[in-house]
Structure 1
Amino acid sequence: MAWLTGLLCVLTLFQPAVARADNPIVQTIYTADPAPLVHDGRVYLYTGHDEDGSTWFTMKEWRVYSSTDMVNWTDHGSPLNLATFSWASANAWAGQVIERGGKFYWYVPVTNRATGRMAIGVAVADSPTGPFRDALGRPLVENGEIDPTVFVDDDGQAYLYWGNPNLWYVRLNSDMVSYSGGPTQIPLTTQGFGTRNGNPDRPTLFEEAPWVYQRDGLYYMVFAAQCCSEFIAYSTAPGPTGPWTYRGTIMPTQGSSFTNHPGVIDYRGNSYFFYHNGALPGGGGFTRSVAVEQFSYRADGGFPTINMTTTGAPQVGTLDPYVRQEAETIAWGSGVETEASNEGGMNVGWIENGDWIRVEGAAFGAGARSLDARVASATSGGRMEIRLDAPGGTLVGTCEVPATGGWQNWTTVSCPVSGATGTHDVYFRYTGGSGNLFNVNWWRFSA
């Protein structure tokens, strides 16, 4: 992804005074269909993965990222893919994860190999980052429709909704992998879901991608509206099954993707709206990218109009540079990609001369004196420059990375640091010869 370098050098010149996320929030791959989950003080973001160069919704796996500050996101890789479901053949499309009883349930739509229809499967894990396993060995429910969303109401009753072109729900049992009764179709009335123009077969605005939750006793159905291009709209109800009342547009049609998909959470006293667009170079309707905005509800519980931005959400708190940080914790990266590490988790790889990674809002306090980094190189290695506030900013240290005899043959290198005080964005700028230089697994400053 070296094509990002020129674009990001321009964006760097216009950084706002307050540390903010840059949208899209993942730059190493194309991501779509965001599904955020708040758990144990952290935001976990579950996404689909659009393959490079796709000319259709070519998707084979799901990905997980997490953050504690809404700016620096850690890549946890792909703990779920089509091969997890022995009965699935294609289309790892939009899903959602929920936690209950210490387990994490991921509801996803895939093509059932036996029937050729879209079906909803469910995977389960003991950790929000997986690995996930097929909970049933068969579809949970199947009627050819897609885009599941799930939530547990205050009384403990769980609901699973899904649909395109219709809208359905079932009442999940407490085991989260079975349900009582049959699927119930929600009436798509114009009062409940707005009026669509020019399509007598689909008179309402509801298209797909429902996202259901409850806040202050009001139930929200946020959804992708109309087609195509889609915008994001919402309806509300006094209960989880309706009756629904259409409330209007949240995010107007914009961006370079003709689809969109909402995800809404509250975290650390703020409200956040996730969506996708085609904003990365090479992006479009089949090569999408996830983004986020912070917003505030109106006094009546309604949404304001939320527009797509490149600046994203403000940072919540700061990053601690004196604890081990994964190298794949990234606010923005230029040229790099990630891969599974033989030491567990992920590492940053495919590093070439001039590539860099930025982490935002590192709180150095009185100052750092050294940096340790876990590195590996199958070639001759290179250098990791530590710069402040810009790719060409103040140089406060340089770590030499040696050849280690393999891309997963890890060693820890150290280098002195001088001048890193206060709170700064940190740029790890990689230099050396031609081709791939080295991999980085983690880093940690010493005070």
Structure 2
Amino acid sequence: MYIADPEAHVWQDGKIYVYGSRDESDDFWCSYKHHVLFSDNLQDWNVIENSFASKGEFDQVDYHDQLLFAPDCAYKNGTYYLYYCSPKTLCEGVARSKSPLGPFSAGKEIIGANQIDPAVLVDDDGQAYYYWGQGKPKVAKLKANMTEIDSSTITLPLDEAGNKAFHEGSSIRKIGDWYYFVCADDSRENRPTCLGYATSKNPMGPFEYKGVIIDNIGCDPAVWNNHGSIEKFKDQWYVFYHRSTHNSQKFRKACIEPIKINKDGTIDEVEMTTQGAGKALAAGDLMQAERACLLSGKVFIDESKSNDIPNEELTNIAEGDYAVYKYLNFEKQLKNFRIKTNVSNNGLVELRLDEPDGTLIGSCNLSKTMNKTAFQISNCEIESVKGKHALYLVFKGENNSFFTIDWFQFY
């Protein structure tokens, strides 16, 4: 399920809820509906589909039938407010529900907010603030009804460095006496693959740009943007972000990594991992290949075309490409490795630790498969490994070999 632009909130019941846009096609961004993810432990997730829509059976926007980009949600006085945006009409709106899961109904346009990516903070005194924008962010006070902005308060909240880094994707949190403004940051790579942040003692700014929290470059050859939020869950802060798949700017997946708020208020940049919010993964467990957290070369994650069961795989793998899994915990004595592949010509996969040219613990020969839909299981012995390591699968091939991988396992 491809949910991008994740805005995470812990509500009164202690559960965490993630609101985001939904990618459905490579021909356009997002879709005409929003789903809501929720969890009480960050490991097991549920989804409520069609909690809000701008078109079709669950339509709650009577003034247009346009796509829905990134949303946010806020709570005040027993009501949950879903803030949404539609780029073709250059308008933003708000719908209501008595449940954090929706359905959200009676969408109403917010006059004066005519770009994208709304974010809302309800401060300790009950005053709410509305953030939005593309190219340059804006902030305004929300009126007490939570559905209108006070246009006389509109201001630009970021300092010069922040305005240079800001692309879109406003998100706002309060930590202690400080306000944290998070956004899609294009200060690297000439594309907004980073989530950057800025801080202020005032919700209206000025916010001082501080740097990058996470960069999703390397998740897919065609990755274009990032968008997300930070949220505290059971005494730990996390960054919620997305990764592209399918060799596309779209088909984005919501992801999580733990972060640390330092004593001086700064946030150290963190890396993308396979384990996400959990502990290092047991090396002996079967690993679905699409859980790679970093890719190099032409390789990308795609839907499997080999059967009618929903599945993903690593595909388009060529000579010298590699895929990374962070982190695996080698607690038990494991002696062998097996991998399910489809290979156009003979090749091999090197198993290396912690770096693309790191310690070689095994090489698994891969034989040419019969056709494009046939898979085979290949095995090899490995050297003894102990402790927590990043695993690099490095691919070598003959005569422009083409690899596809479904899963692998140490045993």
1:307-359 CA distances to partner (integer Å, 9 max, x unpaired)? Answer: 111211027xxxxxxxxxxxxxxxx999xxxxxxxxxxxxxxxxx99889xxx
Q: 1:101 aligns with which of 70, 74, 77?
A: 77
SS in 2 for 1:213: strand
Give distance in 1, aligned partners of 2:310 and 2:251: 22
RMSD (CA atoms): 2.5
Within the alignment, does 1:50 sit opposite 2:26 as a pair? no
Give distance in 1, aligned partners of 2:160 and 2:68: 31
Q: Which residue of 1 aligns with 2:142?
A: 172
Q: 1:66 to 1:232 in 2, by over 3 A?
A: same
State the 1:97 CA deviation.
0.6
Within the alignment, does 1:273 sit opposite 2:239 as a pair? yes
Any conservation in 2 of the 1:235–1:247 contact (CA below 8 Å)?
A: yes
Within the alignment, does 1:205 sit opposite 2:165 as a pair? yes
Q: Which residue of 1 aligns with 2:130?
A: 160
Within the alignment, does 1:242 sit opposite 2:212 as a pair? no
Give distance in 1, aligned partners of 2:180 and 2:265: 10
1:211-257 CA distances to partner (integer Å, 9 max, x unpaired)? Answer: 11110101111111125243111111111011211111111351222
Give distance in 2, aligned partners of 1:60 and 1:333: 30
Give distance in 2, aligned partners of 1:94 and 1:121: 12
Give distance in 2, aligned partners of 1:34 and 1:300: 26
1:267-319 CA distances to partner (integer Å, 9 max, x unpaired)? Answer: 1111111000114xx3631211110111221121111112111211027xxxx
Mapping 1:422-441, distance limit 5 Å: none
Q: 1:298 to 1:46 in 2, by over 3 A?
A: same
Any conservation in 1 of the 2:61–2:107 contact (CA below 8 Å)?
A: no
Q: 1:235 to 1:133 in 2, by over 3 A?
A: same
Structure 1 length normalisation: TM-score? 0.58
Alignment length (residue pairs):
277
State the 1:174 CA deviation.
2.3
Give distance in 1, aligned partners of 2:41 and 2:234: 9
State the 1:79 CA deviation.
1.0
1:29-68 CA distances to partner (integer Å, 9 max, x unpaired)? Answer: 21111011111110011121100x4233141111111101
1:166-214 CA distances to partner (integer Å, 9 max, x unpaired)? Answer: 21122112221123343513065424x16xxxxxxxxx11110011111
Give distance in 1, aligned partners of 2:252 and 2:86: 19
Give distance in 2, aligned partners of 1:135 and 1:61: 13
Q: Which residue of 1 aligns with 2:263?
A: 299
Q: Which residue of 2 aligns with 1:411?
A: none
Q: Which residue of 1 aligns with 2:369?
A: none
Q: 1:353 to 1:271 in 2, by over 3 A?
A: same
Mapping 1:23-38, distance limit 5 Å: 29-38=1-10
Give distance in 2, aligned partners of 1:59 and 1:296: 33
Q: Which residue of 2 aligns with 1:314?
A: 278
State the 1:118 CA deviation.
1.3
Q: Which residue of 2 aligns with 1:259?
A: 225
Give distance in 2, aligned partners of 1:33 and 1:179: 23
Q: Which residue of 2 aligns with 1:63?
A: 35
Give distance in 1, aligned partners of 2:308 and 2:251: 26
Q: Which residue of 1 aligns with 2:154?
A: 184
Paired amino acid for 2:171: W
Paired amino acid for 1:150: V
Give distance in 1, aligned partners of 2:84 and 2:45: 23
Within the alignment, does 1:149 sit opposite 2:124 as a pair? no
Give distance in 2, aligned partners of 1:293 and 1:219: 21
State the 1:142 CA deviation.
4.1
Mapping 1:125-140, distance limit 5 Å: 125-136=97-108, 139-140=109-110
State the 1:143 CA deviation.
4.8
Q: Which residue of 2 aligns with 1:288?
A: 252
Instruction: Tell me: higher relative CO, structure 1 or 2? Use CA pairs within 8 A at least 6 residues apart.
Output: 1
Paired amino acid for 1:248: G
Q: Which residue of 2 aligns with 1:424?
A: none
Paired amino acid for 2:237: S
Q: 1:355 to 1:98 in 2, by over 3 A?
A: same
SS in 2 for 1:290: strand
Give distance in 2, aligned partners of 1:301 and 1:188: 17
SS in 2 for 1:182: helix
Q: 1:186 to 1:150 in 2, by over 3 A?
A: same
Give distance in 2, aligned partners of 1:287 and 1:152: 31
Any conservation in 2 of the 1:145–1:165 contact (CA below 8 Å)?
A: no
Give distance in 2, aligned partners of 1:135 and 1:222: 26
Give distance in 1, aligned partners of 2:178 and 2:149: 24
Structure 2 length normalisation: TM-score? 0.63
Paired amino acid for 1:42: K
Q: Which residue of 1 aligns with 2:176?
A: 216
Percent of paired sites with the same residue: 27
Q: Which residue of 1 aligns with 2:409?
A: none
Give distance in 2, aligned partners of 1:355 and 1:206: 37
Within the alignment, does 1:78 sit opposite 2:42 as a pair? no
Any conservation in 1 of the 2:140–2:204 contact (CA below 8 Å)?
A: no
SS in 2 for 1:79: strand
Paired amino acid for 1:297: I
Give distance in 2, aligned partners of 1:278 and 1:45: 18
State the 1:163 CA deviation.
0.4
